[in-house]
């Protein structure tokens, strides 16, 4: 177990073995890159200005920019070297004392998390959302098509996805307004047409988003190339208006029911940090059918990240957990998603976002959406002492993830 000379609360998610990357600002100063240890946000632009990355950074002034895109478009070796340098600066016993022995630099570059404003860490050029949890896809298919026709014929052959809306990807916390749109007038008879009104079936989706890094390309990626292009991961909530979605999604999939808000966590946890928690997926094997060669992953797996969703109503003083899932609950992993995304020659750029799709497990308490937890509104979901089938006005939705 590694420790830091900088004080870290015992229950902190941000230990010396994490070292995520984000973008923050303080009053009077522009947004710039940071990492976090415990409750302390470290201004990476000032560490860079002090020369602490001079020998490992290929270009200057990377961390004074308002997003991480320039940093993550560098090769993977640069990301890894910078993360290791930060660890060497902070670990105890100290391997690089240039920060520990510079109290003036500490005073300038250290900020308590309560004193800063966090920003969207990347400029999202493009955002794609996948549908890669077999349990989730089976649940939704069973609800709408029946158990015998739950999975579409293509689902076990390729990572199903659709293009989302990058302009409405927001950093959490973010206030989401209940959207209005076209709703099917008669729930049982689509021939009666539609009416305009507020969404009545507002939902969350528990997801993880992979952040693409590296230089732009227009050639298909192999699985190994795809792995080297994934900078890290964000928790993601793909807010969904289920009744608007029901009316609009045939034949091209969701549109206005999902384009109004997608929220992500402010800190990107790197793929390097998660390597210690690599684990088999819940699927175990992909052998019925075996994927086509370009999708075959010799090290097929995901990461053991416990993920929870909690809801706090306007009348409650604390959030109440409504589901607990795991990033292992995927059939198609992030590298397979990226390889498939590029199979036709699609250009991928630094900052592109790949949503995993709702991550549901095999038990009812691991379903990653209210649609599943309430089984299409047929049963109540307990939220502390309250109950609901979908989200109410004033509800606060809290996503968390941790490795064990």
Establish whether 128 is an annotated binding residue.
Answer: no
Q: Are 229 and 339 in contact (CB under 8 A)?
A: no
Show the DSSP H helices in 24-157 as ranges.
44-49, 69-72, 76-90, 103-109, 134-145
Establish whether 238 is an annotated binding residue.
Answer: yes
Establish whether 129 is an annotated binding residue.
Answer: yes
> CA 20, CA 25: separation in Å to the nearest integer?
16
For residue 340, indicate whether it is catalytic.
no
Establish whether 131 is an annotated binding residue.
Answer: yes
Tokens representing residue 39 in the block: 């409750």
> How many C-beta atoms lie closer than 10 Å to residue 395's C-beta?
19
Establish whether 218 is an annotated binding residue.
Answer: no
Beta-bridge partner residues of 238: 262
Show the DSSP H helices in 103-241 as ranges.
103-109, 134-145, 223-229
Establish whether 205 is an annotated binding residue.
Answer: yes
Establish whether 294 is an annotated binding residue.
Answer: no
Establish whether 245 is an annotated binding residue.
Answer: yes
Establish whether 344 is an annotated binding residue.
Answer: no
Identify the active-site residue in 111, 136, 340, 341. 136
> How many C-beta atoms lie closer than 10 Å to residue 114's C-beta?
7
- Please calculate the CA angle 341-126-366 and round it to the nearest 5 degrees: 70
- DSSP E strands, 281-395: 302-303, 305-312, 320-326, 353-355, 381-383, 386-388
Establish whether 135 is an annotated binding residue.
Answer: no
Give, in order, the Cα–Cα distances in Å from 243 to each of 69, 78, 185: 36, 46, 10
Which parts are annotated binding residues?
Answer: 129, 131, 145, 205, 207, 238, 245, 249, 258, 262, 358
- For the annotated binding site for substrate, the residues are 131, 145, 245, 249, 358
Q: Which residues are identified as catalytic? A: 136
Annotated binding site for Mg(2+), which residues?
238, 258, 262
Point out the annotated binding site for Ca(2+). 129, 205, 207, 238
């Amino acid at each position: 177990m590694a420790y830091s000379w900088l004080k870290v609360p015992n229950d902190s998610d941000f230990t010396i073995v994490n070292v995520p990357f984000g973008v923050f600002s303080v009053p009077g100063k522009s947004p710039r890159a940071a990492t976090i240890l415990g409750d302390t946000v470290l201004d990476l632009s000032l560490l860079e200005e002090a020369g602490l990355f001079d020998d490992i950074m290929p270009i200057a002034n990377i961390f004074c920019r308002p997003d991480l895109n320039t940093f993550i478009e560098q090769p993977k070796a640069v990301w890894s070297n910078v993360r290791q340098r930060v660890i060497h600066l902070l670990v105890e016993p100290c391997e690089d004392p240039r920060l520990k022995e510079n109290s003036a630099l500490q005073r300038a570059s250290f900020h308590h998390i309560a004193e800063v404003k966090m920003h969207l860490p990347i400029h999202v050029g493009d955002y794609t959302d996948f549908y890669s949890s077999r349990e989730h896809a089976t649940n939704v298919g069973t609800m709408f098509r029946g158990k015998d026709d739950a999975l579409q014929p293509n689902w076990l052959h390729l990572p199903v996805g659709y293009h989302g809306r990058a302009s409405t990807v927001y950093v959490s916390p973010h206030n989401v307004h209940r959207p209005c749109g076209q709703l099917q007038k008669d729930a049982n008879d689509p021939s009666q047409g539609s009416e305009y009104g507020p969404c009545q079936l507002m939902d969350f989706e528990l997801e993880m988003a992979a952040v693409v890094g590296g230089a732009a390309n227009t050639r298909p990626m192999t699985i190994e190339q795809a792995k080297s292009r994934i900078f890290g991961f964000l928790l993601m909530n793909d807010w969904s208006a289920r009744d608007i979605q029901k009316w609009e999604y045939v034949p091209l999939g969701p549109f206005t029911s999902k384009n109004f808000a997608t929220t992500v966590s402010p800190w990107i946890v790197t793929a390097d940090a998660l390597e210690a928690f690599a684990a088999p997926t819940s699927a175990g094997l992909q052998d019925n059918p075996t994927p086509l060669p370009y999708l075959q992953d010799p090290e097929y797996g995901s990461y053991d990240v416990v993920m929870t969703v909690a809801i706090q109503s306007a009348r409650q003083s604390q959030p109440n957990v409504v589901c607990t899932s795991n990033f292992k609950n995927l059939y198609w992993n992030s590298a397979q998603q990226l390889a498939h995304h590029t199979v036709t020659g699609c250009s991928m750029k630094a900052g592109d976002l790949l949503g995993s799709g709702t991550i549901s497990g095999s038990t009812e308490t691991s379903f990653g959406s209210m649609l599943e937890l309430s089984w299409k509104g047929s049963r109540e979901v307990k939220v502390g002492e309250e109950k609901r089938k979908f989200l109410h006005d004033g509800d606060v939705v809290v996503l968390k993830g941790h490795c064990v």
